[in-house]
Structures are given as C-alpha cells and as structure tokens.
Chain A
Amino acid sequence: MIKDDDKTRTSRRRFLAGATGLTAGLAAAGVTGVAQANDKNLPPNVADWSKSLGDGVAVRPYGHPSKFEKNVIRRDVQWLTASRESSVSFTPLHDLDGIITPNGLCFERHHGGIAEVDPHDYRLMIHGLVERPLIFTLEDLKRLPRVNKIYFLECAANSGMEWRGAQLNGCQYTHGMIHCVQYTGVPLKLLLEQAGVKPNGKWLLVEGGDASGLDRSLPLEKALDDCMIAYRMNGEMLRPEQGYPARLVVPGWQGNMWIKWIRRIKVGDQPWYTREETSKYTDLMPSGKARKFTFEMDAKSVITSPSPQAPLTRKGFTVISGLAWTGRGKVKRVDVSLDGGRNWRTAKIDGPVLDKACVRFYAEIEWNGEPLLLQSRAMDETGYVQPTKDALRKIRGVNSIYHNNGIQTWALKANGEVENVEVG
C-alpha cells in the first residue's frame, strides 16, 4: 500500500511539475476548472495592490517579467551533452503566443560557450577574392543603411531526439530549438559590395569569433539574396547568447549557419567542407551515405498549447494554439486534426504572415473531456505539405538526426494531461 501511495505521489508530482503552475495541475487532475485564488483579493473584497503604492518609475530600470512568471524560462536536457559550453537550451514555446520570441527566451546553441565581446574591440573582416579587403567596426556597421526583418531561426537538429519515436515530453524539448525575432542590420550584399567580390567568387566562409570559431560555407547567391549582418534583435542590441554584437542572418536556412559573434567573411571559389558541414549537419540516410548542404528548413508546425507542459484545466470552449514556419517562403495554410490525422480542419492564422517567419495558428474546439490525438500540418507557398513522421522515416530512416519536420502527435487525456506519443 505504502509503495503504491509513493508511486502515485511521484507520478503526480511529475505531472504537477510539468504543468504551467500548481493551480493548473490541480485543476487538470479533476478537470474541475476552479482556479486557486485568494479570497481576500476577490470581490467584494479589495486587494492590497488596489490600496498601497507600488514601485516607482526606474526602480526597475531594465524591466523583467512579473515574478509570477518565473517559470517561463529556457531549459536544457543535461544528459544530451557532456558540457554546457557545447550544448543547447530550449525556448519555452508552451508558455508563449504570437510570433515574436522575447529576447531572453530565445533558445541557445553554443559550441564554445557565450563569447563576451567588447563592442569597442569588435571587428568584422571581409577578404579573400575581393577587390578591397576591409575591416568594419561595430560603429561602421551601425552607420550603414539598415533593414528590419522578422525571421525564424531553427536549429537543423530541432526534434532530432524524436527520430526513433516519442521521447521527450514537452514541446519545449521536442520543438524548442526555434525562435523568431525582428532583426536590424546591414544587408550582406551591401557589405560585400563595399569590398567588391571578384568574378570568380562563388562561396563565402563565414566564421565566428567565439572559442569554437564556428565556420561554415555559404553560397554567394544566398548571401546576395537575403542574408544580413544583424546587430539588433527586437529593437535592442543582440543578446550575448545570440552573438552580441553582430551575427549572420541566413533566412530560412539551418541555424548552424547563422554565425554568432561573426568576425570574418572570406570569399572563395568553392566550399570549404568544414567539420560543421561534414561530421555534423549532414543527414545520414539508410544507405549509409549522407546528404550534404541541406540548407533549407522544411515546412513544419507544432501545437504549443495544449501540450505536455501546458495541460488543459477545463472542459468546454478551448483554443488550440500553435506555430508554423517554412524555410521556403511563406506559410500558406495550417490544418489541425483531433483524431491523429484521420480528419483535418483548416486552422485560423492570426497575425502577420511573413517570408521565412513563424505564423501563429488557432483552432477552436468544444472539449467534453474525451481523449484526443492532436496534430497540426503546415503547408507552404511552394505546395510542400508537412509529412507524417512515418512518411519521413520511409525515406530518411532514423539516423539522420537533422531535419525532423514530421507531424507531432499530442495525446490529450480525459484528465487534461497531454503526452507526446506516436501513432500508427
């Protein structure tokens, strides 16, 4: 008996821990829908905050979220990597809405920790097959004409832990290697024009200034199309975790190429085949051969709420909310299924639909407490339809690590809990 009791307590604690808050968890267990509140703050009583003065201006010179939101944070999975300096933390997608990721919540992927670059000592070098090798200071970059663009950035390994089946219970972990912010910066084309690319220049080596010196080959064509050197995100200067003071933006392409703390661009006539585009970021197929230079991120979507960390607390009217994106242009449509992909309904997209940016979708349901198998399916303007995980595995096997954009299934249970599952 004692043993059984213990078991229920642990599994219950786990469930509570996964919920957005204690109240949500309690309510979810019984789906009673009564939120926990303090009577003395509720009408007809008058709450303390209605009577006494709060903090004055500039007491919080750089504002933070409410203290009641302190569990909205990036999280990591410690067994994934040997050290936190070469590792990843995940965006808490289940706690966010709209399309813009707050700067402090953008997932991190570092290969040598966070470089703390003094902006006065920041330099960007452009050389190789150019007429005029140049060095730019941060001040130089800020003096040049700039553009503002909203783009998603997804790590090619996002959902990489799920190739062999449902493993991590929460969309923060299964899909949280993505963020979407507005960048301010200089078009890379403009910078390359200042140096003057020679006619035989075809590829760029782009290199970070951190302790991993991460280097990748970037086709010149893409660089001239829509890449930029960004120094701001969502209006303020880049966060150190995102490459302060300047990073490369490669819209729609795998995050590994978006070099942070970028220090050097070298123009060449062929790719470099660096470790990050051979040993890593190549997609091993069942044949034993690997795809290389799989730059574009395929269309993908995920329901962020309800999801394992955001269970349902009430029956009745419910808004299903999720994110969709595609590296090939604009999202055209998102469908939602409640029965594991048998039947689909087109969801409502709300907010801007921008090139290579996240879109937010909603589907409204009346939930009577019946178990559901929730899925979402994105389509983009090229006609690409997000495939099922099984359809992907049929072609790519389970060893490719990267580019897992298969349809995610969440099992919504009668008690409001949600679990990451696979269906067949």
Chain B
Amino acid sequence: MSKSVKLAAIILLALSAPAWAQSKKTDKPRLYGIGQPATPEQIAGWNIDVRPDGQGAPPGHGSVKEGEKIFLERCAACHGEFGESAGRWPQLAEGKGTLTSDNPVKTVGSYFPYLSSVVDYVRRAMPFGDAQSLTNDELYAVVAFVLNLNDLVDDKFVLSKETWNKVKMPNANGFYDDDRLKTEKAFWNAKPCMKDCRPPVKITMHAAVIDVTPEDTTKGAPAKDKAPKKGSVD
C-alpha cells in the first residue's frame, strides 16, 4: 500500500467513525426501531386466550349431545367415559365435597372456579398430543359435555358465548389471595432459637419403609415398578 492510499484510508475511517448509541438520560423510554408491527391477521391466529368474563370466547356453539360423541372419540381413552379417569390421567368429573377430606379430588365440577379456565385450557392443550385441533363448535360441545358429566348443565344444554353466563361453577368462591404475610407472620423471626430449642427428638417416619424411591438403573440395577403411597407433582 502506498503512503497516499494509506492516508486516504485513514481519513475515510475518521470520516465514517461509527456512532456510539446515544444513552441520554430522559424519562421517555428509548425506542430501538427493532421488531415488526404485528398485523391483526397474525394476532388473530395466536390470540386464543379466554377470560372469566367471556372476553376472547370464540364464535360458535356446541351441545352436550354433540360433545358426548367427541368426548368418547377423542378424550375418553385418557379421561374415562364418565370423566372418571382411565388409569392415572386426570379425573374430570365427581369429587364434590372432597376438598376438606384426606383425599381431595379436584375436577372441573369440584375445583375449577371458572368456565373460562376449562375452555381456555381445552382450546390450547387438549386432546393431549393433538393440541389446537378442535373447531370452535367442537370445543364448545366437548366442554358442554364435561360440564354435563359434572351435573352443571342439563342434557339439552348448548354452550356458546350467549349461554356462557348461565353456567354456575360450584367452587367459584373457593379461592382467596395469597395471605402468607399475614397468616404466617410468625415465620418472620429476627432471633430464631439456637440452643435447647425443643426436647430430645424422635424419628417418627422413615422414607425407606415406604420404599417408593426409584432405584438407580445407571449401575445396572433393574428398574422396579413402585407404587406410591401418595404423591403428585401438580
């Protein structure tokens, strides 16, 4: 490279020196010009959520009768013909009056507070393994049938945006806001006990006795089918 060419290159560089992104302190958030506008069509394809007040509920309708057929074909293999669960899949019906018992059975009828929680979920996630395959009419029908299994609507019921508010969910008032800061205030304790905090302790329960821990198969031990005493991850 000749001296003059080199010099020209340096001058050019100096002229087009890259600009540091401005980071002026202002109250207005900075817009980066990154991201594309989402069109109404794009939004419509993904906008599938449904709220308790019916916002987001799609057009269409479906009857208990139509729903029974769909349920038997597309849901009953896992959830059972009557929503009683075929095996270990979630149970969808019954369970009334069990929430204070030793074995609460949480179902659409016994636990779900809102119709929308069922519609929104089935619309996005069911049937398991073939999600978002139901038409709006099928969705309304199959949910109507699940409601019917739970004795929440009669055999002639047709579910739609218009009949939405007719469904009364028994456990609608079964929930309250997180109150740990109040009801568990005693757990905030600046000076936890360090010495002689309780009488000598006894072992009251052994996990090994229950023996439901999976064996470590990485070391050649065969896996055994173990039966739970009680348990759930959700």
Contact = CB atoms under 8 A, between A and B. Distances in A.
Interface of A: 13-14, 16-18, 22, 70-71, 73, 75-83, 85-88, 109, 111-112, 125-127, 132-136, 140, 143-144, 155, 157, 160-161, 164-170, 173, 177, 190, 193-194, 205, 207, 211-215, 263-264, 266, 268, 270, 272-275, 278-282, 284, 286-296, 298, 308-309, 335, 339-345, 373, 377, 379, 382-387, 391, 395, 399, 401, 411, 419-424
Interface stretch (B8-16, B136-144, B203-211): B203-211
Contacts of A344: 192-195, 197
B6 interface: no
Contact of B37 (A86, A134, A205): A134
Interface string B169-195: 000001111111001101111101111
Contacts of A274: 49, 117, 120-121
A421 to B, nearest CB: 5
Contacts of A85: 128-129
Contacts of A275: 112, 117-118, 120-121
Given A17-B215, A340-B201, A384-B188, 4 more contacts: A190-B29, A213-B124, A292-B176, A424-B201
Contact of B124 (A155, A215, A399, A421): A215
Given A274-B120, A342-B200, A82 B37 contact: no
Given A167-B210, A215-B120, A278-B113, A82 B87 contact: yes
A287 B101 CA distance: 10
Contact of B203 (A80, A140, A292, A423): A423
A391 B124 CA distance: 39
A136 B34 contact: yes
Contacts of A71: 216, 218-219
B32 A194 contact: yes
B82 interface: no
Interface string B34-71: 11111000110011111110000000000000000000
B99 interface: yes
A17 B221 contact: yes
B178 A293 contact: yes
Contact of B125 (A16, A111, A177, A291): A111
A308 B215 CA distance: 12
Contact of B179 (A215, A291, A391): A291
B196 interface: yes
B206 A421 contact: yes
Contacts of A134: 35-38
10 contacts: A14-B221, A17-B221, A112-B131, A211-B131, A266-B47, A272-B49, A295-B178, A342-B197, A344-B197, A424-B204
Interface residues of B, number: 93
Interface of B: 29-32, 34-38, 42-43, 46-52, 78, 87-89, 99-100, 104, 106, 111-114, 116-118, 120-121, 124-125, 128-129, 131-132, 174-180, 183-184, 186-190, 192-208, 210-216, 218-219, 221, 223, 225-234
A294 B214 contact: no
Contacts of A279: 106, 111-112, 117, 121
A296 to B, nearest CB: 8
Nearest to B204: A424
Contacts of A81: 88, 233
Contacts of A340: 201
A18 B128 CA distance: 35
Nearest to A215: B49
A160 B100 contact: no
B201 A341 contact: yes
A342 B198 contact: yes
Nearest to B125: A212
A379 B192 contact: yes
Contacts of A190: 29
Contacts of B195: 343-344
Nearest to A380: B188
Given A170-B213, A213-B125, A383-B190, A193 B29 contact: yes
